[in-house]
């Protein structure tokens, strides 16, 4: 058994110093890891005095920083080999934050004044790297959590990881924080004929820039913020994009009368019922953008804020794609019936040729793959038996900050010093 020394981001191989005065601790850890282990097996276990955090995205970093501020060490386990893997690996070059920076900053460290209102992806990553440096957060990289399970006998969490070299490590802790995000895995729908299509089919997570599609007819399946922005990027690189709009979509201007639409919506919701706020937003959008339905962008029955709160579906904040739809540079199609060798057949009977397909079909959580007990962790931050979640409240980075501070405050209330709280 080894002990994690959070303050130095390393393991301390002399646990006796920490355990000497902790009556009953050794028995509880022994129970959690099963007493009859060989020395080698026992050395696979690491006892973490503070919480184990799964995921080194913005949420995991924010929780670790808030804990650090209270003098509470933690360990972050991250499957990738750097922080914020979604932002570094799976986003396209032209991406900027969709909502203004002051709604996206993490606790205890604002964005630099010099950053624009909507920082670019590269600026956001730079900010996160500076954040990790400032709070001396050093995650354990290449460490995929494959299971986390509460042991009722010892009342401790047992967390198993697999390294990129296949090595197994096991952690034991009183607290577990799930911070693997709602965008952990690509959502890829089953579309008939996908195997027949001869051109490339990629998910937006692999899309970087439209340059390689120059002159090509590209079908973008999905019309959320990513689908719209990828279409715009394709136009800007002289490709010929078409976009599938299967159900309705709310397109709103990114700013209204000098306010960010996000900020205005949050403000309206303080005073008005959601349906009234929605009606107001839709009226203004109609005045500013015209009737989007005339261009094939049918609006859903529920308003944008009500839809977001009930289903998590985010409205599109337009950054220029709508103008290219109106001009005909981006064509709109209904749902795909099936793909063919060189194109697609749509539910309205049209048959079109395409050179490439981009799936802007979103992401999903992977909690069910590693958190034992079938917990969903949506719309909340505190669960039973020392289990917390950050970044699952469907409030984006603003929700992340709120969750992180609440989690640190809650753990701080029962943290005395090191292992004495176990
Ligand atoms: C294109 C795009 C644009 C966006 N723009 C905005 C925006 O402008 N504003 C906003 O508020 N939100 C935006 N979002 C939402 C954004 O995903 C989140 O706000 C933010 O990244 C959430 O951070 P997170 O830490 O919760 O999750 P993530 O950033 O997804 O981080 C989760 C981390 O957990 C790791 N992980 C996953 N599974 C495991 C495992 N089993 N073991 C170990 N590690 C694991 C991942 O590798 C990852 O590093 C955008 C999302 C996308 C896809």
Query: Checking DSSP bridges between strand 255-256 and strand 201-203, what pairing results, if any?
Result: unpaired
Written as six digits, the tokens of 398 are: 């603003």
Predicted local confidence at residue 377, as pLDDT = 80
Q: Measured from the CB, is residue 46 less than 6 Å from ligand 1?
A: no
Question: On the CB side of 374, how many CA atoms lie within 13 Å of its CA?
Answer: 0
CA 235 – ligand 1 centroid, Å:
27
Q: Measured from the CB, is residue 395 less than 6 Å from ligand 1?
A: no
Q: Measured from the CB, is residue 60 less than 6 Å from ligand 1?
A: yes
Q: Measured from the CB, is residue 144 less than 6 Å from ligand 1?
A: yes
* Residue 17: pLDDT band with limits 50, 70, 90: very low
Q: Measured from the CB, is residue 85 less than 6 Å from ligand 1?
A: yes
Predicted local confidence at residue 33, as pLDDT = 63
On average, the pLDDT of the chain sits at: 90
Q: Measured from the CB, is residue 227 less than 6 Å from ligand 1?
A: no
Q: Measured from the CB, is residue 393 less than 6 Å from ligand 1?
A: no
Cα angle: 125, vertex 130, 135; to 5 degrees: 130
Query: In this model, does residue 1 exceed pLDDT 80?
Result: no
CA 192 – ligand 1 centroid, Å:
30
CB atoms under 10 Å from CB of 104, counted, come to: 21
Ligand 1 nearest atom to the CA of residue 60, by list position:
25
Query: In this model, does residue 43 exceed pLDDT 70?
Result: no
Query: In this model, does residue 291 exceed pLDDT 90?
Result: yes
CA 127 – ligand 1 centroid, Å:
15
CA 75 – ligand 1 centroid, Å:
18
- Select from 178, 184, 266, 378 the residue to mutate for testing ligand 1; criterion: most ligand atoms less than 8 Å from CB: 184
Q: What are 133-170's pLDDT values in tens digits? A: 999 999 999 999 999 999 999 899 999 999 999 999 99
115 three-state secondary structure:
coil
Q: Measured from the CB, is residue 88 less than 6 Å from ligand 1?
A: no
Q: What are 369-381's pLDDT values in tens digits? A: 999 987 778 878 9
CB atoms under 10 Å from CB of 194, counted, come to: 15
CATH of the domain spanning 187-362:
3.50.50.60
Written as six digits, the tokens of 245 are: 């709009």
Query: In this model, does residue 307 exceed pLDDT 90?
Result: yes
> Percentage of the chain with pLDDT > 90?
82
- Give, in order, the Cα–Cα distances in Å from 280 to each of 99, 273, 284, 301, 315: 19, 11, 6, 15, 15
Backbone torsions φ then ψ of 151, nearest 5 degrees = -100, 110
Domains of the chain, by residue range, sit at 2-184+365-420, 187-362
Predicted local confidence at residue 45, as pLDDT = 85
Which CATH architecture is the domain 2-184+365-420 placed in?
Answer: 3-Layer(bba) Sandwich (3.50)
Q: What are 177-226's pLDDT values in tens digits? A: 999 999 999 999 999 999 999 999 999 999 999 999 999 999 999 999 99
């Amino acid at each position: 058994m080894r002990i994690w020394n959070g303050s130095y981001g390393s393991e301390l191989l002399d646990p006796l110093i920490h355990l000497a005065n902790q009556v009953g601790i050794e028995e509880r850890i022994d129970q959690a890891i099963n007493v009859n282990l060989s020395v080698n097996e026992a050395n696979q276990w690491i006892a973490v005095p503070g919480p184990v955090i799964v995921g080194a995205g913005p949420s995991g970093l924010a929780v670790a920083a808030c804990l650090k501020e209270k003098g509470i060490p933690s360990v972050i386990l991250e499957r990738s080999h750097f922080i914020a893997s979604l932002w570094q690996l799976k986003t396209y070059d032209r991406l900027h934050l969709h909502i203004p920076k002051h709604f996206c900053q993490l606790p205890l460290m604002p964005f630099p004044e010099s950053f624009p209102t909507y920082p670019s992806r590269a600026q956001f990553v730079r900010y996160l790297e500076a954040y990790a440096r400032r709070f001396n957060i050093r995650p354990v990289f290449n460490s995929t959590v494959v299971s986390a399970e509460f042991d009722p006998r010892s009342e401790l969490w047992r967390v198993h990881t697999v390294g990129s070299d296949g090595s197994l490590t096991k952690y034991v802790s009183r607290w577990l924080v799930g911070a693997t995000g709602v965008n952990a895995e690509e959502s890829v729908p089953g579309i008939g004929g996908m195997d027949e299509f001869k051109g490339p089919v990629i998910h937006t997570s692999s899309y970087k820039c439209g340059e390689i599609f120059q002159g090509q007819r590209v079908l973008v399946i999905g019309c959320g913020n990513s689908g719209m922005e990828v279409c715009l990027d394709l136009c800007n690189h002289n490709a010929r994009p078409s976009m599938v709009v299967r159900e309705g979509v709310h397109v709103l201007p990114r700013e209204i009368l000098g306010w960010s639409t996000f900020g205005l919506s949050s403000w309206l919701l303080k005073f008005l019922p959601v349906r009234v706020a929605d009606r107001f937003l839709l009226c203004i959008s109609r005045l500013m953008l015209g009737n989007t339905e005339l261009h094939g962008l049918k609006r859903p029955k529920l308003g944008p804020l009500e839809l977001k709160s009930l289903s998590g579906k985010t409205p599109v904040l337009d950054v220029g794609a709508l103008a290219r739809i109106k001009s005909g540079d981006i064509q709109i199609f209904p749902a795909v019936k099936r793909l063919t060798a060189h194109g697609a057949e749509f539910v309205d009977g049209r048959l079109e040729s395409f050179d490439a397909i981009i799936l802007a079909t979103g992401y999903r959580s992977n909690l069910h793959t590693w958190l034992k007990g079938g917990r969903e962790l949506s719309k909340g931050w505190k669960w039973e038996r020392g289990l917390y979640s950050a970044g699952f409240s469907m409030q984006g980075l603003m929700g992340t900050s709120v969750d992180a501070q609440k989690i640190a405050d809650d753990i701080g209330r029962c943290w005395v010093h090191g292992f004495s709280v176990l």
